[in-house]
């Protein structure tokens, strides 16, 4: 968040509007990832049975796929909601950041060159 604020020069008002969007996305993403992790454990459990129910495994895999797709869509929706709050100049900076592969979700997890 702080990098986003610094790079785009968000005003205090914009920060106040962006923070809840990012917080809500982060909370939902954590819950969804946890659901996916639990589903993967349940698949392992199902597959360890002598005769696993493959139709159940298939349903579980489809459920995971749907959750992963929803997670991506939620991220896109959040990014679009944030973008609406930006000035035209900030939107141009946003586009430039994304063109260079530096989105707010990715740049926070990039390895540091500080050693």
pLDDT in tens, 67-94: 999 999 999 999 899 999 999 999 998 8
Q: CA-to-CA distance for 112 and 88, rounded, in angstroms?
A: 30
Q: CA-to-CA distance for 25 and 100, rounded, in angstroms?
A: 23
pLDDT computed for residue 99 by the predictor: 77
pTM of the model: 0.76
What 50-58 contacts at long range (C-beta under 8 Å, 24+ apart), as own/partner pairs, is none
Please, are residues 61 and 69 in contact by the beta-carbon 8 Å criterion?
A: no
Name the more confident of 102 and 19: 19
User: What are the residues whose beta carbons fall under 8 Å from the beta carbon of 88, sequence distance 6 or more?
Assistant: none
Sketch the domain layout of the chain as residue ranges: 20-80
Q: CA-to-CA distance for 104 and 38, rounded, in angstroms?
A: 27
């Amino acid at each position: 968040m702080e990098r986003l604020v610094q790079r785009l020069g968000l005003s205090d008002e914009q920060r106040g509007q962006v923070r809840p969007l990012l917080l809500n996305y982060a909370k939902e993403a954590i819950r969804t990832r946890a659901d996916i992790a639990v589903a993967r454990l349940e698949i392992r459990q199902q597959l360890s049975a002598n005769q696993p129910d493959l139709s159940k495994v298939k349903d579980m895999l489809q459920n995971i796929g749907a959750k992963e797709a929803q997670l991506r869509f939620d991220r896109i929706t959040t990014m679009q909601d944030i973008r609406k709050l930006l000035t035209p100049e900030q939107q141009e900076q946003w586009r430039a950041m994304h063109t260079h592969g530096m989105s707010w979700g990715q740049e926070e997890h990039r390895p540091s060159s500080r050693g």
